[in-house]
Amino acid sequence: MIARQKASSLNQQVQYGDTYGYLGSLGFVVMATDTVMQENLRTLAPDGVSISVAPVASPNEITVEGLRKHIDTMAKAASLIQPDAPPDLICYACTSGSIVIGEHAVAEQIRLGAPKSQPMTLVTGVIDGLRTLNAKSIVVATPYIDEVNELEHRFMTDQGFNVLDIQGMQIDDGSVMGNITPGYIKEFALSLDRPEADAIFISCGGIRTIDILQEIEDEAHKPVICSNQAMMWSCLRRINVSLTVKGYGRLFEIPEIADPCSILSLDDRIEEFNAL
C-alpha cells in the first residue's frame, strides 16, 4: 500500500503588484449577437485600463422593437461584470439601442445592477466627441433600416446638431453586421460627405469602422467619428485617463477636454435632453 504524502508547502514571500487595470477599469454591456465590439474594445483600450464585458440578450433583428428588448436583461448583465471589484464605469455598448431605449432608462438599469459603477451609454460618448470637436453640421452613415435612422436623426437634431443627411445600408440582421467589409464602409461614408459638413459620423458599434477610420478621415480632410472610437474615448476621459492613441482619428489624439462642459455626466445629459 502506497503511503499518502501530506502537502506541506513552505512559507512564501508572495510579491504583489499592479493589476491590468492600474489606471482604471471599464465594463461594457454588449449585444449577444455582436462579433466586433469586444475586439474593438481591446484594440482601443490603452495599457493600464482593464476591460470586462457581459452580454445582454438580444435578438438578431435590428429593429426598434428588437432594440427595445435589450432593456429586459440589462441590469442582470451589468451585475455580472466583476461584482466583487466593480468597474469604475459600465457602458451599454450599442448606439441604436441607446437611442431607442433612452439614456435615462439605460442608466437606471445599469445602476440597478451595478450601483457602485458610473453608468454610461455609447451614444453619450458620440455626443461628447462631436461637441469636443466643435462639429455642428454633420452627415451620418449607418447600417440600419430607416425606422431606426428616423429616431437617430431626431435624437441628433434634439442634441443641437444640423444633420445634413443620414443614410442607412438597410440591414436589419445584427448577425451579419460584422461581415460588412471595411472597404465598403469607407466608400459608403465618403459618398455622404458634403463640403459644408464639419464631421462625418459613422454609427453602429457592430461594424468594423475603426479598421478604416483613419483612412476615411485622411481622405475627407475633416474629423470622422465612429461609435466605438467615440465611446472608448469618452469612457476613458470619464475615469480620468487622458492617454492618446494614434491611428483612430483626431478625436483620440486630444489628451484633454478642450471645454470641460463638453463632457457631461449622464445625469446632466438627461436633464439637458428633457429641457429641449
Residue 258 and residue 156 share a domain? yes
Task: For helices 37-44 and 227-238, give the axis angle rounded to 10 degrees.
Answer: 50
Do 199 and 160 belong to one domain? Answer: yes
Q: Is residue 11 part of a domain?
A: no
Give CA angle at 63 (214, 101), nearest 5°: 85
Count CB-CB contacts under 10 A for residue 195: 5
Which residues are CB-neighbours of 174 under 8 A, at least 6 positions away? Answer: 31, 33, 34, 58, 59, 60, 61, 62, 66, 206
- 133 and 253 in a single domain? The answer is yes
- Which of these three, 107, 123, 139, is where a domain ends? 123
Q: Are 126 and 231 in contact (CB under 8 A)?
A: yes
Ramachandran angles phi, psi of 133, nearest 5°: -85, 0
Q: Are residues 32 and 111 in the same domain?
A: yes
Q: Does 132 share its domain with 255?
A: yes
DSSP H stretches of helix in the chain: 37-44, 64-68, 74-79, 95-101, 103-113, 122-132, 146-158, 182-192, 213-220, 227-238, 266-275
| List of residues 6+ apart from 88 with CB closer than 8 A | 24, 25, 26, 117, 118, 239
- Quote the pLDDT of residue 7: 85
Q: Does residue 119 sit in the same domain as residue 129? A: no
Residues 118 and 139 in one domain: no
Q: What is the pLDDT of residue 199?
A: 98
d(CA 70, CA 98): 10
**Domain C-terminal end among 96, 123, 150:** 123
State the Cα–Cα distance between residues 180 and 182, nearest whole angstrom.
7
Co-location of 37 and 128 in the same domain: no
Do the domain assignments include residue 269?
no
Rounded Cα distance between 143 and 44, Å, is 22
pLDDT on residue 8: 86
Question: Does residue 150 lie within any of the structural domains?
Answer: yes
> Same domain, yes or no, for 46 and 129?
no
* Residue 43 domain flag: yes
Amino acid of residue 244: T
Q: Are residues 171 and 137 in the same domain?
A: yes
Q: Does residue 270 lie within any of the structural domains? A: no
Q: Name the domain boundary from 58, 88, 123.
A: 123
The pLDDT score that the predictor gives to residue 244 is 85
CATH number at residue 173: 3.40.50.12500
**Block residue for cell numbers 466643435:** 134
Whether 154 and 253 map to the same domain: the answer is yes
Instruction: Evaluate the CA torsion angle 200, 147, 41, 19 in order and state its sign.
Output: positive
pTM: 0.91
- At residue 147, the pLDDT reads 97
Count: domains in the chain: 2
- pLDDT value at residue 259: 53
- Residues contacting 160, CB < 8 A, separation 6+: 136
Distance of alpha carbon 24 from its chain centroid, rounded? Answer: 17
pLDDT per residue of the chain (276 residues) written in tens, 0 to 9: 666 778 888 999 999 998 899 999 999 999 998 999 999 999 999 999 999 999 999 888 899 999 999 999 999 999 999 999 999 999 999 999 999 999 999 999 999 999 999 999 999 999 999 999 999 999 999 999 999 999 999 999 999 999 999 999 999 999 999 999 999 999 999 999 999 999 999 999 999 999 999 999 999 999 999 999 999 999 999 999 998 888 999 999 997 655 544 445 666 655 655 555
1 in a structural domain = no
Show the domain range for 251.
124-227+247-262
Same domain, 104 and 202: no
Amino acid at 75: A
Within a domain: residue 232? no
* Encoded amino acid at 90, one letter: I
Conformation bin of residue 145: beta by default, left when phi > 0, alpha when psi is -120 to 50: beta
- Has residue 29 been placed in a domain? yes
